[in-house]
Each structure stands twice: as C-alpha cells, then as structure tokens.
Amino acid sequence: MILEVINLTKAFESEGTKILANNNISFKVYEGEILGILGANGAGKTTLIKQIATLLIPDSGDILYRGTSIVKHPEVIRGRFSFLQEGMRNVYPYLTAEANLLYFAYLNHIPARVAKNKSEELLKRMGLYEVKDNYVYTFSSGMNKKLAIATCLINDPETVFLDEPFSGLDLIASIELMDFLRSLVMESGKTFLIADHRLDFIEKVANRVLWIKDGNVVMEGSTVEMKTIRKEKEFIIYLQNSIETQNALKEKDVEFQVLSDEVLKVEVSLDRKDYLSIIISNFDVLNIEKKELDFEAIFKELYSRAKNN
C-alpha cells in the first residue's frame, strides 16, 4: 500500500456558513494502481487531492504515505509525487517549453545533463519537440496541457495526481488528450490518482473508482462493474404496450417498464443477442435507441446493487 487516507475531514467557511468539503473520508491506494476519483463539480474531489498533495491541511484525520503521516511530515512526500491542477495554469507562459521542463527538473534537484535528456525525451513523447523553443503563451490549450503533464513526469514521480485533466480543453483537444493519457497511464506503471467527472475516461483508465458526493465517499468499486452496467443497459427498445406483450416478456424473464398505456420500455445489452432477436421478431417495436449512461445513472445502478447485496 502506498497511500492511506484515514477519516479525512475538511470544512471551509464562506460568509459565515460552514461547508463540509470532505466528510470523514477513508480509503487506500495500492502501488501501481490507477484510482479514479469521480464526482460532480463541487463534490469535494479537488479538496481531497489537495490535502493529499499537502496543499491543504485537513481539519482532522490523517494521510499516510508509505506509513508516514504527511499531515505531520509533509516533506516525506515532496518530490515523490507530481500534481497537475485543473485548468490551464500549470506552466509558465513566458518560458519556452524546454525551459519550463528544465525549471521543474532543477526544482526537483535533477542534475543538468539528466534534466536535459529527460526533457528532450518527454518533449518527443508529447509531440512538442519541434516547438521546444517556443514560448508557452503561443501554445494551444492541448499543447499547454501536454507540457503540463510532461512537467509532472520530469521528476519520475512514484505517484501522480491529476485533477480534472480535461478542464479548459475543447472537445477535440479532450479526445486527443484522453487517448494520449490513457496510453501514458497504462504504460508508465506509476500510481495515479485521477479526479474527474468524465465517467468515460475514468472507466477506461482506472482500476478502481472512488465515488464522492457532497464530500462523502458514497461508494468504492472496480471499473469492471461500471463497464458491466454500461453494457447491460446499452439499448432502449420501445414496444407497443399490451397485456399479451407484458405477459410474454414476463415469461421470457425480460425486465420492462410501462411508460404509458401505449408504450413499454425495455433496456437491453448488445451482448444479449438472444433477447434482442426475441424482442424484435415477436413484438411490435416502436423505436430503438442507443443509451448513453451518465454519471448519475451508473451511480444509481451501482448504489442500488450495493444496497441489495
């Protein structure tokens, strides 16, 4: 185990009102694991990440890094992790791409020659080598983000914290960065803590997910479960409602929902071709839709399953 968060609580005061950002949060992170921290905006993800990054002091609780409290000894973790904060403000706009990397390398006490080699290697990997002498303020947001990620890797950290890595990016840049990050995270073998509300991304890269809502960890689970739910509920088929159809569906053990006197709704996965063919050939199909499951829907499903179990 590389990291253990124990009963972490953090509240902020805003205009006389106390806002509980993290409420008694506990979880563990294992070496080489990719932990996704999912939650809507304002759920408490950034507060949690910043406390682990020693940028915020918790009100109570502890954070152990390889068994040592980083609340009491923040110096223990310094230089052994990197932190990418949300938004585009991670690098110096008036430094060149290479100078930014060298600056962060020197701050991490990396010798000049090693820093130079490492920065060239990272610039090539990020596809920024051709523009290494350009000032960062001339970069697109996607390039800026890639450079920021490179500065996170220059010190070869044990653990990387990524806070909303896609914030501030347009759709195309997000897609590009998502593919890039996915291969990077998978290949590096480092421990990653990724806070985001992008379910699709977390699902693809993380081994395990921590669900945060209103400052509480409401669920901890594997991404395999999430993928299963997504597959199970891939298609929505609308059928003409009738007593016969309802009875027939019940006979075949197919779950359905009555939407109106006219319409029945059946959710089905592409994997269950048997269901699909039975439904399509035997019933009066009104419409078929591909369902995009959002954060809330998967969360609700996981939650109800956990409750039932």
Partner 1 sequence: MLKTIEAEALKFYYDVKRYLFNYLVGIVSTTIFLSGIYYGLRLLYARAGEETAFVGLLLWLFSSSAISGLTDILAEERYLGTLERISVTKSPFISIVVSRLIVNFLFGLLQFVIIGSILYLLFRPNLAPLFPSSRVFFMQLVVAVFLLLSLYGFGFFIGSLSLIFKRVGAFSNVLEYLILFFSGIVIPWEKIPFFLQVFANFLPMTWGIRTLILIKMGEPFLFSFLNCVLYSLVVVLVGNITFHCAVIFVKRKGEYAFF
Binding site residues, partner 1, CB under 8 A: 10, 12, 47, 50, 53-57, 75, 78-79, 81-83, 85, 87-96, 99, 102-110, 112, 135, 151, 155
Shortest spacing between CB 165 and partner 1, in angstroms: 14
Torsion, Cα 229 232 235 238, to 10 degrees, reads: -110
| C-alpha count within 13 angstroms, C-beta hemisphere, residue 231 | 11
- CB nearer to partner 1: give 21 or 249: 21
- CB nearer to partner 1: give 80 or 204: 80
Which residues lie across from 285 on neighbouring strands?
A: 239
Q: Which residue has the tokens 């923040």?
A: 74
Distance separating alpha carbons of residues 135 and 94, to the nearest angstrom? 6
Closest CA to 135 of 185, 196, 187, 91: 91
Distance separating alpha carbons of residues 171 and 177, to the nearest angstrom? 10
- CB nearer to partner 1: give 133 or 251: 133
Shortest spacing between CB 236 and partner 1, in angstroms: 43
Shortest spacing between CB 212 and partner 1, in angstroms: 17
Q: Show the CA angle centred on residue 292, arms to residues 290 and 293, nearest 5°.
A: 130
- CB nearer to partner 1: give 10 or 265: 10
Shortest spacing between CB 13 and partner 1, in angstroms: 8
| 70, burial (CB in 10 Å: exposed 0-12, middle 13-18, buried 19+) | buried
Shortest spacing between CB 28 and partner 1, in angstroms: 21
Residue type, 193: L
- CB nearer to partner 1: give 136 or 173: 136
- Show the DSSP H helices in 206-290 as ranges: 223-232, 243-251, 273-282
Q: b/e for 199-208, b at 16 or more Cβ within 10 A?
A: bebbbbbbeb
Distance separating alpha carbons of residues 93 and 300, to the nearest angstrom? 42
Shortest spacing between CB 245 and partner 1, in angstroms: 57
Shortest spacing between CB 213 and partner 1, in angstroms: 20
Closest CA to 109 of 150, 78, 147, 73: 78
Shortest spacing between CB 209 and partner 1, in angstroms: 24
- CB nearer to partner 1: give 159 or 174: 159
- CB nearer to partner 1: give 136 or 217: 136
- CB nearer to partner 1: give 55 or 285: 55
